[in-house]
């Protein structure tokens, strides 16, 4: 039997395996939309611990997992640290114009 939590093992699905509803569900939550927007503004990697939101660490980890499973973000581990970035180019290949449209609509209240 495999040892339970092989912890930092991040799963990054191929974009071809991700369907539209999964992506929309991932984006249809305020905190996650905020994270994606934050990463988009950053143009590159962002350190995990620099993602400052008024939620518990475990909750943030949970949201990042959902974003990962939707193919929206990817994680890179360096020692004990973790860096998160948007898979924007790949997403655009799979769902052309979608992420850009969502992000440009994000800040029109």
Partner DNA sequence: TGGCTTATTCGATGATCGACGAACATCGAA
Partner DNA sequence: TTCGATGTTCGTCGATCATCGAATAAGCCA
Binding footprint of DNA on the chain (CB under 7 A): 3-10, 25, 29, 31, 47-49, 54-66, 75, 79-82
Nearest CB to its own copies, comparing residues 82 and 99:
99
List, as one string, the DSSP characters of 42-98. Answer: HTS-EEGGG---SS-HHHHHHHHHHHHHTTSEEEEEETTEEEEEE-HHHHHHHSTTH
**Contact residues for its own copies, defined by CB under 8 A:** 19-21, 24-25, 27-30, 33, 94-98, 100-102, 104-106, 108-109
Nearest CB to DNA, comparing residues 62 and 106:
62
- Rounded to a whole number of angstroms, the minimum distance from the CB of residue 47 to DNA is 6
d(CA 88, CA 85): 9
């Amino acid at each position: 039997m495999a040892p339970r939590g092989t912890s930092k093992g991040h799963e990054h699905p191929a974009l071809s395996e991700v369907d539209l509803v999964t992506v929309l569900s991932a984006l249809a939550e305020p905190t996650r939309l905020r994270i994606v927007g934050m990463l988009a503004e950053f143009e590159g990697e962002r350190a995990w611990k620099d993602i400052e939101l008024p939620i518990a660490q475990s909750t943030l980890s949970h949201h990042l997992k959902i974003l990962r499973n939707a193919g929206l973000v990817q994680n890179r581990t360096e020692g004990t640290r973790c860096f998160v970035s948007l898979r924007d180019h790949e997403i655009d290949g799979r769902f052309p114009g979608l992420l850009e449209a969502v992000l440009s609509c994000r800040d029109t209240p």
